[in-house]
Structure 1
Amino acid sequence: MFYLPPYSPHLNIIERLWKELKSRWLKPDDYQAFDNLRYPTLDCLNNVGTNLKINFSKYY
């Protein structure tokens, strides 16, 4: 067993995914309306692992 801090987003893979989604894959114009955000978000999530890649090894 080892101690984990109460908040450790760097150990949670979904946190890395959201950070990449918000900082690299979505454009500022996507945040104008819900539909403008919904479709690009779904498109990105559907393409993770095929067209969109994250190198998790550089974060650990």
Structure 2
Amino acid sequence: MFYLPPRSPELNDIELVWRQAKYQDYPQRAQTSIDAIGEAVDRAMTRQRDRIRQSATNFTRAA
């Protein structure tokens, strides 16, 4: 475990994931219903999950 100082999101790896999901995978934030919001967020998180899995696969292949 590592100590992270307060107010330092740049040191927390999950913040990078959230930022990428927010700006790359969910760029259009104007939805017409709560269901549409849920579906858009699910798609964004699925894309993010797939991207992480692919990078992990590439990392293990390179090693």
Distance apart, 1:47 and its partner CA: 2.6
Q: Which residue of 1 aligns with 2:30?
A: 29
Q: CA RMSD in A?
A: 2.7
Unaligned runs of 5+ in 2: 53-63
Number of residue equivalences = 51
Give 1 or 2: higher helix fraction: 2
TM-score normalised by structure 2 residue count: 0.52
Q: Which residues of structure 1 form unaligned runs of 5+?
A: 54-60
Equivalent residue number for residue 14 of structure 1: 14
CA distance in 2, matches of 1:3, 1:44: 30
Larger Rg: 2
Q: 2: distance between equivalents of 1:33 and 1:9?
A: 31
Which structure's relative contact order is higher, taking Cα pairs within 8 Å and 6+ residues apart?
A: 1
